[in-house]
Amino acid sequence: MAGLHVRSILVTGSNRGIGLELIKRFIGTPNPPEVIFATCRDPEGSQAQELRTLAAQHPNLMILQLEVTDPSSIKRAAREAEARLSGSGLCLLLNNAGVMPPSTLESATGEDMLSVYNTNVVGPLLVTQAFLPLLKKASQESRQTGLSCSKAAIINMSTILSSIERTPELFSFVPVISYRCSKAALNMLTKCQSVGYKQDGILCAALHPGWVKTELGNFKPGVQADLTVEESVRGLMKVLCKLSEEHHGTLVTWEGNTLPW
Ligand code: NDP
């Protein structure tokens, strides 16, 4: 993909769904990253078979165990990534892992709210903290001016369902209260990161991948999601290519449009 020359990337939750497709796309670019970290909870499990097959074929792909709710797992992954990068920084961190259990205004429990928040918000916060020194290093190493994914970036996978402004029109589509609240908080985290890391030259943005045919996207019995995972990620790759200063601290769709918070 012309314009996107990312030297190193890390994608969380990359054994299936959008994360796995992102890994495949990056491997397939004309200028693939020198190092691709595909992280998942269970690298030895049956759900990671496709990832293992890819890693056996592509020496630039390294699988790391990473459970986003487990600080020790995150720190270990960061140490292993640092060793593999041998002194270089990490250009692009994609906080993609997420969960969306059913939850209505009536059924949501405290446990449900906290568990989803832990995965969808605390996870990206802790993962970013652990990889921040490597992201800063990538930014310092880069000769590029301005903000871009090729230089250094934190991309948080959000959703249109996080948009407070769009909630009245989208509420009846699917309530998922715990998910909506967690992703709205993830947007706030993205905004805070965009302010906090601007002086470090790290682009921070949230993305909406569309309604995608994955396990997570398959929530309406008898109704298919709008996009195949390939269509969504093709769009996301184009967007990653174009992200710049003007998108810093914003929520952008797979088609490149800005969504209101
Ligand atoms: P999938 O359900 O297909 O995949 C989710 C991924 O996240 C899996 O790899 C899963 O790993 C991983 N994951 C879940 N919990 C954890 C955890 N605690 N630690 C590490 N990894 C974890 O979902 P999608 O690919 O559809 O979703 C990816 C992202 O896109 C999510 O953040 C989601 O909110 C967002 N999104 C998706 C939409 C859609 O329509 N699909 C729409 C809008 C946003 P495991 O296999 O171990 O469970």
Tell me the domain boundaries of the chain.
Answer: 8-259
Q: At what angle do helices 177-196 and 110-117 cross, to 10 degrees?
A: 40
**Best CA proximity match to 200, nearest among 141, 240, 252, 243:** 141
**Identity at 12, one-letter amino acid code:** T
Per-residue pLDDT tens digits for 32-74: 999 999 999 999 999 999 999 999 999 999 999 999 999 999 9
Given a contact cutoff of 8 angstroms between Cβ atoms, the answer to whether 157 and 124 are in contact is no
Q: Where residue 222 falls among pLDDT bands split at 50, 70, 90? A: confident
Q: Ligand 1 pocket, 125 CB below 6 A?
A: no
Check residue 3 and give its pLDDT: 66
Q: Ligand 1 pocket, 214 CB below 6 A?
A: yes
Check residue 225 and give its pLDDT: 95
Q: How far is the CA of 41 from the centre of ligand 1 (A)?
A: 11
Q: How far is the CA of 87 from the centre of ligand 1 (A)?
A: 30
Of 3.30.310.10, 3.40.50.720, 3.20.10.10, 3.40.50.9100, the CATH number of 8-259 is 3.40.50.720
Q: Ligand 1 pocket, 254 CB below 6 A?
A: no
Q: Ligand 1 pocket, 17 CB below 6 A?
A: yes
Stretch 18-36: mean pLDDT: 97
